[in-house]
Amino acid sequence: MKRFSTLIWLENRRNWIWSLPLMGSLLFWAWGIKQVTVMSVEERLGIRAGLLVAAATIGAVVLCMMIGRIRSETRKGQYQVLLMSPPSGYTHILSRFTYAAGVAFAFYIAIGFMFWWIFALAGISFDARSLFELILAVPFYGMSVTTLPLLAYTLLLMVFVSAYRLSGPGWVPGVVMLLGTPIAMQWVGEWIVRISYTLPGWRLFSTAPAALVERFGELDPETAMDINTALNQGVPVEPMLVMLVVTAVLLLLAGRIWQEVEA
């Protein structure tokens, strides 16, 4: 029996209608980027990068909407079928998360390619290593810190609502969870800031200054020093590690609560 792969197949059949338009929306963003033709090279680059950050944010929201449709499944009774199936709650939750994370990774790799494209439009050509970091390492880092915990939290929230009916007797744990979330986020955020750079930073784009020099000529000494300092320090790995652990904990909780869901 291939339970996990079957659940992934089921996820794909249920959700392709969300994931394909998400990928298709990249064409819209590419069109938007092409429309930015005025102003200086630096301003164009800034606006285009802003558009891609917006695309990445909206993509995360769409992914959360895709993964969080448990209530409508409950109303239609399809949730009953899944609750009664032999795979454990953990397997069900993991399959949903794996599918959404796969779609997210494909989406953010495409966003990474679009960043490479807007740099190319600005006349900045990265070497192979920087390109690799732009289309794989940065999306992985960004997803680990933001999208993956967000997807796991969405799953936990929806399973929690299905299990404890926030409008009914479950309003006490519901209120505790909803009020506790921002407090927990603030606490985790402060803790991450406190422990950041305990481990050596992850050095990304260490060869990028050469591309900037090639495009814009020699940088002024102060800017060059700032860039070199930032690149030598690298990005902190602690936020990524902490948020990956948070993601795993949220998924474990969601899998456990799956066993308590009524339908």
- Binder among 32, 87, 209, 234 for another protein (CB under 8 A): 87
Binding-residue pattern over the window 37 to 76 for another protein, x denoting contact by CB under 8 A: ---------------------------------------x
Q: Given the complex with another protein, which of 168 and 182 has the nearer CB atom? A: 168
CB of 138 to another protein, least distance (A): 36
> Left, alpha or beta for 218 (phi > 0: left; psi -120 to 50: alpha)?
beta
How many Å separate Cα 84 from the centre of its chain? Answer: 31
- Binder among 38, 84, 128, 183 for another protein (CB under 8 A): 84
Sole window of 150-158, 161-169, 182-190, 205-213 interacting with another protein (rule: CB under 8 A): 161-169
- Binder among 24, 77, 217, 221 for another protein (CB under 8 A): 77
Q: Given the complex with another protein, which of 91 and 206 has the nearer CB atom? A: 91
- Binder among 85, 98, 146, 196 for another protein (CB under 8 A): 85
**Cα–Cα distance, 149 to 81 (Å, whole number):** 27
13 binds another protein (CB under 8 A): yes
Sole window of 4-12, 125-133, 192-200, 204-212 interacting with another protein (rule: CB under 8 A): 4-12
CB of 176 to another protein, least distance (A): 19
**Cα–Cα distance, 67 to 84 (Å, whole number):** 20
78 binds another protein (CB under 8 A): yes
Instruction: Compute, in degrees rounded to 10, the torsion defined by CA atoms 204, 144, 96, 61.
Output: -100
Adjacent-strand bridge partners of 202: 235
Sole window of 81-89, 110-118, 145-153, 236-244 interacting with another protein (rule: CB under 8 A): 81-89
- Binder among 1, 27, 38, 183 for another protein (CB under 8 A): 1
- Binder among 25, 44, 46, 80 for another protein (CB under 8 A): 80
Residues in contact with another protein by the rule CB under 8 A: 1-3, 5-6, 9-10, 13-14, 76-78, 80-81, 83-87, 165, 168-169, 259-260, 262-263
